[in-house]
A and B are shown apart, each in its own frame.
Chain A
């Protein structure tokens, strides 16, 4: 029997390291394509200011990229170190996209990023442009394969449980990569990265315009980012809607939590704009509702309905009861893999095996489970409603805020009057943290909404964790918190410093104009 504290600490560690990693990744996804856009203008028009832009934003890109790569190492190994049962149980499917990510995408991104930084003088203009584009595609293809893996956790298609090897096994690779959840989640996440980068570039450019520094560079950067951002924000919202539509079908518990839907309602269903859900009372307090909107949003029709949490709990209870024989048969098969009776019994109940596992948390021996334990397990099949509900609303609210922001930015920039709108420029600087917060909320909706499962309907979270001691987990958590805190301080310091110093002005002064100390003196200075 696994210690609940260890599971909780493992979850905290995974969430903390993943959320931290996800601070840096979206900026990489989007800024790489903005760099490609800037360099494309440089190569086609030959105007040196666009090269200066590509190099300046490239410098900031690299400061951010380093930390993304570093924290990505943790993620690649954390499944094995802290979620070993999970890794053995679904590694046959889950590992493949991670390996393909390395083969197809990460190698490309990392090899060419070196040439992007160091190759300005060694490559022709066209070659360097191609390298920048490959970095952009590489980083986004990386995201694709990571989300193929994540999509399997949300909607495990293309796999089935094999009682001989006691794990999930791949049945259809095509189903895995073309699953609707994977597709919409990849596009949603990738473009959310574009929005992040667009807000970042707009905000930093606004900072220069406010101080009337590097004006031509800032105006051009702002123009490009505003157009990039307005289209990308529209895309993110569209794909967010598509994801909700998919979730209504494949993850009804997540959807019910997102909407705070405790009881089934008749069509057309109202949308809870504001509510304070209480998990223990199974109801919302202080609701503000918009009539008909929920039906429109999640079913794209006025007479569509989705299940409420009460109905989902009853459904879970029935599946738990059917999952009990599956677990019992599996225990026989573990000792005697060819037992015909057990095989037949397992085959009849295999679909509900995950729910049998879910019950093991409340009744370690499922054969002696009491009705009260079954009910407790069914109640446990619902994610934490308030957290999912509010993460979702914060994400959507910030998304709409960014849409308004970019419409304004595009308008002012296209009229070429943005430099005189000081209030807007000040607001733009304050907008910089907004997309990062929205990204984190999106992660929380997706992964908290999936609870209590690591693989939806298949493998409960509490079973998935490695059997470490509490002391080990406390030690590693303290280590990660310590290291990561130091890292973020250094990163922000360097980033702010590079922004304050600004881009190298040709013949001017700026950090990037090169050191003023000659090479020989430079070496001598460090000797002391």
Chain B
């Protein structure tokens, strides 16, 4: 494999890592938002829950921004085609996500119950909706998205407004939401005591149970679904456009990669194992262990999707031969190389100072202290 093809695979893997970071870190904060009204019955309980993620949500959200930036830099044609094609879905995502920072920062500035109640609803919507959208978008990748290109690579989206809200996408959307709720609840358990802790534990168990069922149904569904297969292309590591390949749709094709490389079955196994492990850990009140097992579940689920779709990034249902793969959507060799250099330096640095920040703020969040603290949310 040449340098260019290697870089393309590295960036495909790095994108996977970023999506896992996004799912684990942003998903956890969104999960807290989604379950806030349920686990926190009093204002103080809700404030405790918010202050558990308070010092970190801002840093965590950068996984989302970086995910967007990395797709733009490493797979520009994917960024261009997917985000414009999924316009309405992206608006739904953006409009709910931009409310979230305000929910965190502004909610506790004023004591009036109506004010706080309104922001609690904002946090619920801005937690639940984006996670469903994330999941639904990935679900749609399996079905293909109706788009095609003109001679100069102008992309056209030919689907309707609601075509993206099909049953399979809703299933993956709810799966993402339940994993987020599970992680959010585990995070609340890490920092909370008393009734809040107990309710969060109940959420973990219900959400993990739901995730196991949904992931299993999704697996059977994909098994019978028509998948995409690349039958002719200029090949990996060759500069190309999506106008130069041929792709066919074959029922069950999404499982081809698992047949060729049986080791890939470890990914769904990690998914199920992580979900079940988180359930058991929550039962035993070992929420820190549960959180790491929950992260493993995310890695397994996203790894499963990636392993099934490879080398496709955005299959086209309108004209399968114009599907985007990592070979035809990636940046040039120079860009990928420079970006790899930056990632090699800064990703470890980010992991280091993020862990330091969590370590500094470790421990239980005390309700007494929040009530006194002028900086608290």
Contacts and interface: CB of A to CB of B under 8 A. Distances in A.
Touch test A–B (CB under 8 Å): yes
A66 B104 contact: yes
Interface string B57-96: 1110110111011111110110111111001101100110
A90 to B, nearest CB: 8
Contacts of A162: 239, 332
B371 A518 contact: yes
Interface string A102-136: 11101110111111011110110000000000000
Of listed B65, B68, B70, B154, residue having the most chain A CB within 10 A: B65
Given A81-B83, A102-B70, A513-B374, A66 B101 contact: yes
B102 A87 contact: no
Interface string B354-376: 10010011000001101111111
Contacts of B334: 169-171, 173
Interface in A48-62: 55, 59, 62
B156 interface: yes
Given A95-B73, A514-B374, A522 B56 contact: no
A94 B46 CA distance: 42
A322 B134 CA distance: 47
B116 interface: yes
B99 A70 contact: yes
Contact of A99 (B69, B109, B155, B354): B69
A490 B243 contact: no
A91 B376 CA distance: 40
A494 B106 contact: yes
Contact of A98 (B55, B73, B153): B73
A77 B70 CA distance: 12
Contacts of B105: 62-63, 65-66
B273 interface: no
Contact of B374 (A65, A114, A504): A504
A80 B83 contact: yes
B347 interface: yes
B151 interface: yes
Q: Which of B73, B116, B243 has the most CB of A within 10 A?
A: B73
Contacts of A59: 374
A99 B332 contact: no
A184 B83 CA distance: 32
A70 B94 CA distance: 9
A84 B84 contact: yes
B319 interface: no
A12 interface: no
A519 B368 contact: yes
A513 to B, nearest CB: 7
Interface in A479-528: 479, 483, 487, 490, 494, 497-498, 504, 512-515, 517-519, 522-528
A117 B108 CA distance: 14
A66 B106 contact: yes
A96 interface: yes
B36 interface: no
Given A76-B69, A114-B54, A523 B44 contact: yes
B338 interface: yes
A71 interface: yes
Contact of B62 (A107, A490, A518): A107
A77 to B, nearest CB: 6
B43 A334 contact: no
Given A88-B80, A91-B80, A472 B88 contact: yes
B84 A82 contact: yes
B271 to A, nearest CB: 27
A456 interface: no
A522 B84 contact: no
Contacts of A118: 51, 54-55, 361, 375-376
Contacts of B82: 80
Contacts of B375: 55, 117-118, 120
B357 A115 contact: yes
B256 interface: no
Contacts of B41: 527
A466 interface: yes
A95 B239 contact: no
A518 to B, nearest CB: 7
B223 to A, nearest CB: 32
Interface residues of B, number: 90
A230 B375 CA distance: 32
Interface string B25-56: 00000000000000001111110000100111
Contacts of B46: 526
A85 interface: yes
A200 B102 CA distance: 21
A84 B70 contact: no
A74 interface: yes
B97 A476 contact: no
Contact of B360 (A82, A119, A164, A475): A119
Given A91-B77, A98-B69, A100-B342, A119 B83 contact: no
Contacts of A517: 371
A103 B87 contact: no
A514 B43 contact: no
A344 interface: no
Nearest to A466: B84
B65 A92 contact: no
A59 B331 CA distance: 42
A485 to B, nearest CB: 13
A96 B90 contact: no
B224 to A, nearest CB: 32
A525 B105 CA distance: 21
Contacts of A220: none
Contact of A77 (B77, B90, B104, B368): B90
Given A107-B66, A468-B84, A526 B43 contact: yes
Given A115-B361, A162-B239, A96 B156 contact: no
Contact of B77 (A62, A70, A88, A331): A88
A118 B375 CA distance: 6
Given A84-B155, A114-B58, A512-B374, A122 B102 contact: no
A420 B194 CA distance: 56
A406 interface: no
B361 A122 contact: yes
Contacts of A110: 58-59, 61-62
Contacts of A104: 342, 346
A157 B331 CA distance: 17
A258 interface: no
A300 B72 CA distance: 40
B239 A164 contact: yes
A102 B156 contact: no
B99 to A, nearest CB: 7
A521 to B, nearest CB: 9
Contact of A483 (B95, B332, B374): B95
Nearest to A171: B334
Contacts of B116: 526
A427 to B, nearest CB: 30
Contacts of A523: 42-45, 367
Contacts of B72: 79-80, 87, 91, 94-95, 98-99
A330 B150 CA distance: 13
Contacts of A527: 41-43
Contacts of A171: 334
A467 B156 contact: yes
B354 to A, nearest CB: 6
B272 to A, nearest CB: 32
Nearest to B328: A165
Contacts of A256: none
The 8 closest A-B pairs by CB, nearest first: A91-B76, A526-B43, A80-B83, A111-B59, A95-B72, A95-B73, A523-B44, A84-B84
9 contacts: A81-B90, A91-B73, A103-B343, A103-B346, A110-B61, A114-B55, A514-B372, A522-B44, A523-B43
Given A95-B73, A104-B342, A525-B43, 14 more contacts: A66-B102, A84-B80, A85-B155, A87-B80, A92-B76, A95-B74, A98-B69, A111-B353, A117-B54, A118-B361, A118-B375, A166-B153, A490-B106, A527-B43
